[in-house]
Amino acid sequence: MNDLTVTALLIGSLFLILGSGVWIGLTLSGVAWIGMQLMSSRPAGDAMAVTIWGSSTSWTLTALPLFVWMGEILFRTRLSQDMFRGLAPWMQALPGRLLHTNVVGCTIFAAVSGSSAATCATIGKMTLPELQKRGYPSDMVIGTLAGSGTLGLLIPPSIIMIVYGVAADVSIAKLFIAGIVPGILLAVLFSGYITLWALRHPDRIPPRDPPMSLLAKLQESSSLIPVVLLIVAVLGSIYAGIATATEAAAVGVLGALALSALQGSMSWAVFRDSLMGATRLYCMIALILAGASFLTLSMGYIGLPRHLAEWIASLGLSPFLLMLALMVFFIILGCFLDGISMVLLTMGVLMPTVLKAGIDPIWFGIFVVLVVEMAQITPPVGFNLFVLQGMTGRELPYLARVSLPMFCLMIAAVLLIWFVPGLVTWLPAQMRL
């Protein structure tokens, strides 16, 4: 068979099995088995066993379930609920007032979560009822929450960064450091949009709360101290070179357990639910990881990555046009697959092309995270849209429409880091890792 026939067969098999409702991890393994069985001399069963065992026992992956568990603990305890009370007094003087709590709250929670859906759901539980009760417009409340929730992927620790680091063989600690400035940049873009919108529509913003003294504001903000301490413990241990990403994840879990216990919000039921929630989520991710690893091996034996890289190279695209083409490709792919599947399905094929084009793999990792963020708010498989649909009862077309300005700001962020790559690469270059 020629390359075009092989590619069409594998893509057709992928969508046929996915469309039949089979789990994504099993689908990837099935497509890989078809490819190896029909187009390779190596026994497919032996290759599957070795690859799945190798991907499932990687030491690097141990950080993933720990960060997931830390986010689950915070999601279910009072640590997250205290954030709105601590943030609200400082937002009153800004144009847009409490709409900024969506952005700032998601930025802070993203630094201890790593999951876009968990960030969106946790901050949404706090801000949606409060902002709607105070009369803030629903389209802005929901739209800014949908966009800001994606910061859970970009601001470290990030589940997607760990997955990319494993798939692309890139330092996870450097990826974490590289995500700080772009994450803050995107949060500033979101807040800037809220400010401009509020200046144009002052009549849609409710009046500010009665003024508070500086001492009263500081007293209200004391509820933020535990979360800030946890962020410092987790990220500080990585940046100082004291701990690896895995060790820092363990510190985060212990810190979340200790703080929630000290606040009195930890119970046996909360502990059990957080552990089971993390276990279910990680098992889903691990199955996808195993299937994607086998698919990558299968494609390597068939030779598709090399042929695809040669085909793209033959097009003579400049690095900028290659980046634009990949952004469109990921946005389209995000309409059908979740972020983890997108990364794992494509890295084995794309990394040779990216490296050949002279693109820094750390920079490319942040680029991938940004475009995966866009996929979180694109129907029909936008996870943040699903979360918001469950919380608000709104239809997906409405949620996608109010999230569109945030989507456009993410495109602007991609262009910014392309033209100013130091926003991504400067900070990791200063660290000794």
327-341, 366-380, 405-419: segment of lowest average pLDDT: 327-341
Which residue, chain included where needed, has tokens 């800014």? Answer: 144
Banded pLDDT at 310 (limits 50, 70, 90):
low
Q: Where are the domains of the chain?
A: 25-35+42-430
Banded pLDDT at 330 (limits 50, 70, 90):
confident
Structure tokens at 49: 């066993």
66-80, 114-128, 305-319, 416-430: segment of lowest average pLDDT: 305-319
> Percentage of the chain with pLDDT > 70?
88
What Å distances lie between residue 205 and 126, 252, 264, CA to CA?
19, 38, 36
| Position with higher pLDDT, 143 vs 226 | 143
- Residue 346 · residue 42 · CB < 8 Å: no
- In this predicted model, what pLDDT tens digit does every residue of 104-160 receive, in sequence order? 888 887 777 667 777 777 777 777 877 888 888 889 999 999 888 888 888 887 888
Banded pLDDT at 4 (limits 50, 70, 90):
low
Helices 44-56, 24-39: axis angle to 10 degrees equals 140
| Position with higher pLDDT, 364 vs 382 | 364
| Position with higher pLDDT, 95 vs 210 | 95
Q: What is the pTM of this model?
A: 0.73
258-262, 361-365, 383-387, 395-399: segment of lowest average pLDDT: 383-387
Predicted confidence at residue 223, as pLDDT, reads: 73
Average pLDDT over the chain, rounded to an integer = 80
What Å distances lie between residue 345 and 48, 260, 289, 305, 341, CA to CA?
16, 37, 9, 11, 6
Which residue, chain included where needed, has tokens 């970009």? Answer: 154
Which are the contacts of 327, defined by CB distance < 8 A and separation ≥ 6? 367, 371, 411, 414
Q: How far apart are CA 334 and CA 120, in angstroms?
A: 18
Q: Average of pLDDT values for 389-404?
A: 84
Alpha helix stretches (DSSP H) within 59-158: 63-76, 78-91, 100-110, 116-133, 138-149, 151-154
Q: Of the segments 21-30, 232-241, 396-405, 408-417, which one has the largest average pLDDT value?
A: 408-417
Predicted confidence at residue 3, as pLDDT, reads: 57
Predicted confidence at residue 188, as pLDDT, reads: 94
Task: Indicate the burial class of 92 (C-beta count within 10 angstroms; 0-12, 13-18, 19 or more).
Answer: middle
Predicted confidence at residue 432, as pLDDT, reads: 60
Examine the pLDDT at 186 and tell me if it is beyond 80. Answer: yes
